[in-house]
Amino acid sequence: MGYSEEDKLNMLRLYHKNKGNVYKARMDYRILYPDKALPSKNTFRNVDKHIANNLSLRRKKRVVAVNEEEELDILLHYEGNN
């Protein structure tokens, strides 16, 4: 599930407010944002780790190298299954 930058910032604030205690951060998140899905404990940790490593809440886009012949085979496969 993708989270907006605002959601990530809210997670980060609660994580640090609770001195890295992810269980308390999740409880606060549940209270403050009852209509939103509750992020897992790893999501809080990953957002913190990501910003520490990248100094940004945004994820870098992945570049996928594709062999043109393989790409054509894949497209032809799906075209034949329609």
- Sequence letter at residue 51: I
User: Can you tell me the mean pLDDT for 53-65?
Assistant: 72
pLDDT-derived band at 82, boundaries 50, 70, 90: low
Phi, psi (rounded to 5 degrees) for 38: -80, 115
Domain boundaries, the chain: 1-82
DSSP at 81:
T
pLDDT-derived band at 58, boundaries 50, 70, 90: confident
CA atoms of 16 and 21, how far apart (whole Å): 8
Q: Report pLDDT for 60.
A: 67
Three-state SS sequence of 16-54? HHCCCCHHHHHHHHHHHCCCCCCCCHHHHHHHHHHHHHH
Q: Report pLDDT for 62.
A: 65
15 contact partners, CB below 8 Å, separation of at least 6: 22, 25, 44, 45, 47, 48
Reported as a single tens digit per residue, the pLDDT across 14-24 is 999 999 999 99
